[in-house]
Structure 1
Amino acid sequence: MAMPSDSIGFSVRRIDAFAFRVPIEAPVHTSFGIMRDRPAVFIRIEDTHGGFGWGEVFANWPAAGAEHRVNLLMDDVAAMTIGQSWPSPREMFLHLVRATRIRALQCGEPGPFAQVIAGLDIAGWDLVARRAGKPLAKMLSADAAERVDTYASGIKVDDAPGTIPASRAAGFTRFKVKVGFGANDIEKVLALADVNLAGELLFVDANQAWSFTEAREFIDRTMDASLGWVEEPLPVFAAREEWAGLAEMGVPIAGGENIFGEQDFGQAVSDNILSVIQPDLVKWGGISGCFEVAKRVREGGKLYCPHFLGGGIGLAASAQLLAAAGGAGMLEVDVNMNPLRSLFHLGGARQGAGYWEIGSEPGLGVVDLPEALFEFLTLHRTFM
């Protein structure tokens, strides 16, 4: 699975960035906050020959993040990207990481800079794969899987008794519920486990909500529920000894959406604490960074399951990257209402059948943004 190097040079002549916000009736709850609308930032880059590619930038948090990311891209990063001849998207990625490091430190915003660079990287890979006439997965690896398994996600534990049957009816057999809201979560999870059908899997995601004592109690009391994994039971900055203590209890521990950089992911692979490693390619790394991580995860005998809870472009990129990495993990599919995801129709009805087919469309399969999205547009800027 070596990173391809032939015919992937390009030069950017134009960048467009779009911020969208969709009002929603049912807020999306996590242990650390509530999403009262669904935001997204999509990027389109165009090369000097008229080729183009699409990317996505993380915009879920903070609440004002989407418009900020567009302005950050246009006012701080775009000028570093335009007009140079890049041998590959990865070379652009590495250059932008180096070139923005001091700016990111100066303003205390390494995350937003990493997210903008990730979006540009995704767009770069979409561009070169489209030019080659190959799905991105096949551009990255000739041995890419034809499809990847999916699981239903974004389900608050209180809503799970209604949402899981609806997801099951859509074809899902794997479900992840959000916990970390209170002591009653244990009883609620046990009740869900009691009604799961044979062959189904149940995962839980605490979103870093617990102390070590709380996490240990949850795992101990839900041991008989045979959970597929417990995700982010502790803050990412918790002591290694605490993470190791939970891993020793025997339930798979998952995490990675809040790890940044190949070095830190390398440590996560070698630590033998996380059984499931979940980079989020719109938060850090794009394709260039996360493909390298995915290879190390596989070589380390762990499960690579990309984290994602955003719009349709990032979801498609996550699916393509998982397929390129062999397809042995699972793709996270948010089942909450979000036109910024569902209007793209990528993967078609196939994603609701428990898997996502990569298909034959070049790149990510996105030619234009769906016209229906533009009623939700809050900001559009161009740099050329």
Structure 2
Amino acid sequence: MIDIKTVECFVFRYPLTEPVVTSFGTMRDRPMVLIRLRDADGVTGWGEIWCNFPNVGAEHRARLVDDVFAPILLRETFHDTESAFNKLTGLTRILAIQTGEAGPIAQCIAGLDIALHDLAAKKDGLPIWKRLGGDRNQVPIYASGLSPDRPERLAEAALNDGYTAIKLKVGFGLELDHRNLRTLRDLLGPDRQLMTDANQAWNIEEACYAASSFEEYGLSWLEEAIPADRREKEWAQLESVAPMPLAGGENMAGDDVFDAAIAHKALSVIQPDLAKWGGLSKCVPLARRIIASGARYCPHYLGGGIGLVASAHALAAAGGDGLLEVDANLNPLRTDLVGDMLSGSNGMATLRESPGLGVEPDLNEFKKYLVPHS
């Protein structure tokens, strides 16, 4: 039985000297929303809510937790983590429709679910990956978040840190995209993995042309080449001409949506973001369905340390040959929270055997990045 007695939300912002650029917007700082739950026995659980966009998103998500979800958690008891996810979703379903904020509400539930799993696994004395049925504590990783302005700088640093796979942001004009891809392929050599992420930059005609033009680089996948909500026939059209596997999933939500994508088979790499929708309760079973279908489960993640560690637990629990996304940009809200998970990586992340997530944030270390949200 889960009986929550305190719900706390913390908003952090790490200022960037070099913005992170995507085809649809620019991040000028790195935000993070952490949740700390404490139950009747004094056991704590930590979670993280996706909040990258828009720029006011972090404070908004935190206020949703304070105003909407904390009262529910404090008055209800739950049989287990899955029933908590279902009840939180059910009790806010009409609110999500009324406000048009299905995304932010789902993101809050996802972060709370991570915290509930951390708490429950601590009480069971097991790491989350093992509690959810995993048999390994290591998962392969790749370096992500390489923007179009001289991405070789981050790529070189990542290679020096032991990474063997790199993902580049594209969608900034084919001349620049090709220049960057050529530079990175030369840097990586023929055997290391190179992926691309267009962040929904193109229409179907542009995407088909770009994908065909990228053939020479031997890409492991092309991610979100068209908007995530485009019709199945457009994804099928792109899949029929693309010389590399297609990837997507970070902007999908709901079992029905993911199951339709699995059945359609245009995506060879499916990438749910557990801090954006589903948490561990939904994303680990989904990951197993993805793997059983013959596709790859590669969790999307670009945030702070708690969500990254949770994503690693999900991948370790689900199995398969997928890769864990790790942002290559400087962000102490990530690196100072993951403990030794990425130390001496050699292309792998190593999870601890300690109960729960295996990390316990020391808020004093991050107080200079703490911002008010009320």
Answer yes or no: is the 8 Å Cα contact 1:19–1:67 preserved in 2: yes
Q: Give the match for residue 63 of structure 1.
A: 55
Runs of 4+ aligned residues of structure 1 deviating over 4 Å after TM superposition are: none
Q: Give the match for residue 300 of structure 1.
A: 293
List per-residue Cα deviations over 1:321-372 (Å, max 9, x = no partner). Answer: 1000015210000010111101114344436431101121211112233422
Task: Evaluate the alpha carbon distance shift between residue 369 and residue 159 of structure 1 in structure 2; reply closer, same or farther with a 3 A threshold.
Answer: farther
Q: Which amino acid aligns with 1:264?
A: V
1:206-355 matched pairs, under 5 angstroms: 206-249=198-241, 250-350=243-343, 352-355=345-348
Q: Give the match for residue 181 of structure 1.
A: 172
TM-score, normalised to structure 2, is: 0.96
Secondary structure of the structure 1 residue equivalent to 2:3: strand
Q: Distance in 2 between matches of 1:98 and 1:298?
A: 28
Q: Give the match for residue 377 of structure 1.
A: 370
Q: Distance in 1 between matches of 2:31 and 2:300?
A: 17
Task: Evaluate the alpha carbon distance shift between residue 100 and residue 349 of structure 1 in structure 2; reply closer, same or farther with a 3 A threshold.
Answer: closer
Secondary structure of the structure 2 residue equivalent to 1:263: helix
Q: CA deviation at 1:159?
A: 2.4
Answer yes or no: is the 8 Å Cα contact 2:161–2:346 preserved in 1: yes
Task: Evaluate the alpha carbon distance shift between residue 376 and residue 317 of structure 1 in structure 2; reply closer, same or farther with a 3 A threshold.
Answer: same
Q: Distance in 2 between matches of 1:253 and 1:321?
A: 22
Q: Which amino acid aligns with 2:63?
A: N
Q: CA deviation at 1:98?
A: 1.1
Q: Give the match for residue 53 of structure 1.
A: 45
Q: CA deviation at 1:380?
A: 6.4
Answer yes or no: is the 8 Å Cα contact 2:232–2:264 preserved in 1: no
Q: Which amino acid aligns with 2:20?
A: V
Task: Give the one of 194, 205, 221 matched to 1:202.
Answer: 194
Q: Which amino acid aligns with 2:6?
A: R
Q: Distance in 1 between matches of 2:142 and 2:2?
A: 36
Q: Give the match for residue 142 of structure 2.
A: 151
Q: Distance in 2 between matches of 1:286 and 1:72?
A: 17
Q: Give the match for residue 5 of structure 1.
A: none
TM-score, normalised to structure 1, is: 0.94
Answer yes or no: is the 8 Å Cα contact 1:155–1:177 preserved in 2: yes
Secondary structure of the structure 1 residue equivalent to 2:174: coil
Secondary structure of the structure 2 residue equivalent to 1:10: coil
Q: Which amino acid aligns with 1:61?
A: F
Q: CA deviation at 1:163?
A: 1.5
CA RMSD of aligned residues (A): 1.4
Q: CA deviation at 1:183?
A: 2.6
The structure showing larger relative contact order (alpha-carbon pairs under 8 Å, at least 6 residues apart) is 1
1:25 aligns with 2:13: no
Task: Evaluate the alpha carbon distance shift between residue 351 and residue 115 of structure 1 in structure 2; reply closer, same or farther with a 3 A threshold.
Answer: farther
Q: Distance in 2 between matches of 1:278 and 1:347?
A: 25
Task: Evaluate the alpha carbon distance shift between residue 18 and residue 351 of structure 1 in structure 2; reply closer, same or farther with a 3 A threshold.
Answer: farther
List per-residue Cα deviations over 1:231-275 (Å, max 9, x = no partner). Answer: 000001222111111112241000000000011111111111000
Answer yes or no: is the 8 Å Cα contact 1:11–1:84 preserved in 2: yes
Answer yes or no: is the 8 Å Cα contact 1:148–1:327 preserved in 2: no
Q: How many residues align?
A: 372
Q: Distance in 2 between matches of 1:277 and 1:59?
A: 21
Task: Evaluate the alpha carbon distance shift between residue 242 and residue 186 of structure 1 in structure 2; reply closer, same or farther with a 3 A threshold.
Answer: farther
Secondary structure of the structure 1 residue equivalent to 2:182: helix
List per-residue Cα deviations over 1:92-134 (Å, max 9, x = no partner). Answer: 1011111111111111110000000111100000001011111
Q: Which amino acid aligns with 1:63?
A: N
Q: Which amino acid aligns with 2:296?
A: L
Q: Give the match for residue 172 of structure 1.
A: 163
Answer yes or no: is the 8 Å Cα contact 1:16–1:380 preserved in 2: no
Structure 1 residue runs without a partner (length 5+): 1-8
Answer yes or no: is the 8 Å Cα contact 1:306–1:322 preserved in 2: yes
Answer yes or no: is the 8 Å Cα contact 2:155–2:184 preserved in 1: no
List per-residue Cα deviations over 1:254-297 (Å, max 9, x = no partner). Answer: 00000000111111111110000000001000001111210110
Secondary structure of the structure 2 residue equivalent to 1:336: coil
Answer yes or no: is the 8 Å Cα contact 2:150–2:180 preserved in 1: no
Q: Give the match for residue 3 of structure 1.
A: none
Q: Distance in 2 between matches of 1:18 and 1:177?
A: 31
Secondary structure of the structure 1 residue equivalent to 2:111: helix
Task: Evaluate the alpha carbon distance shift between residue 349 and residue 294 of structure 1 in structure 2; reply closer, same or farther with a 3 A threshold.
Answer: closer
Answer yes or no: is the 8 Å Cα contact 2:126–2:356 preserved in 1: yes
Answer yes or no: is the 8 Å Cα contact 2:161–2:344 preserved in 1: no
Secondary structure of the structure 2 residue equivalent to 1:123: helix
* % identity of equivalent residues: 43
